[in-house]
Each structure stands twice: as C-alpha cells, then as structure tokens.
Amino acid sequence: MELDRFSYRCGVIDCFNEMVRAGLKPMALAHPCPTREERESYLPFCEEICGQYGTRFFPEDDMLLTDLFPLSANRGTFNIIFYREESVRKAYEALKEEKAALRAAGTYAGEVRRRLACAFGALLGYPEADCLRMIASNQEREPDRID
C-alpha cells in the first residue's frame, strides 16, 4: 500500500503534536513546503489536530536557518511550527532576532553561531550532544557573511 504525500505529512503533524503535548518537544516543525499554497493546504488539519492535543501552531514564512539542518532543507520554504507554551514561541522569535543582530554586526560565526544552532535544537527537544553531532555533519551551511 502506498501512502500519499498529504496523508503522510498529516501523520507527521499528528505525531509531533502528540510529542509537544506530552512535553517531549517544546516545539516541532512540519515538513517544509516549497510553496505557500501547499503549506496552506495543511492548515485545516493543523487547526483540528492542535484542538485535539491542546497545542498551538503558526505558519512560518521566514524560517530560522541555522547549522543544525542543511541550508536547502528550509531556505525559501514555508513551514508550520507547533508549540504548547507561548514562551517557546517567544524564545524562537528571540533567536531569529538575535541571529539578525549578529549578522548585522558581522559576528555570526564560531561559538556564537554554534550556540544559536544548539539553542534552536533545544527548542526542538534535541539534547546538546545531538545538536553538536548534527552541526558537525552538516556540510551545507550559510556563509558567515552575507554581502
């Protein structure tokens, strides 16, 4: 039996929301979508599933890019972020602001860059050792500077 893409991704959304509700992940990401329209097609299911689990979501058009994931996995995509506590959403937004300030100052490099990626990973429920392993194995990163 072959599972269609939409149903598979809805299953992932369900699973991640169950994990967020249980406190295993402070925040979870849906699969990135290449278009806003595709992402929007999942929103009715997100409303339903978040209502079931007591979680929240928001559409994300400007995903935080860090060395945690290959650049092509999220750059220019449309995502949905799931969370339970408003403080988690605020922490995510603060990381985006911090990265923008670091880039503007020309200091988004080295340990600061690693720390920001690990802070993002912590929001996703990843232990620091796993974040460091993921960062070390990621061969597709943003340049330190954007000219």
pLDDT tens-digit map of 48-82: 999 999 999 999 999 999 999 999 999 999 999 99
pLDDT tens-digit map of 16-52: 999 999 999 999 999 999 999 999 999 999 999 999 9
Q: Residue 55: left if φ>0, alpha if ψ -120 to 50, beta else—which one?
A: beta
Distance of alpha carbon 107 from alpha carbon 122, whole angstroms = 22
% of the chain surpassing 90 pLDDT: 94
Average pLDDT, the chain: 95
The widest CA-to-CA distance across the chain, in whole angstroms, is 53
pTM > 0.85: yes or no:
yes
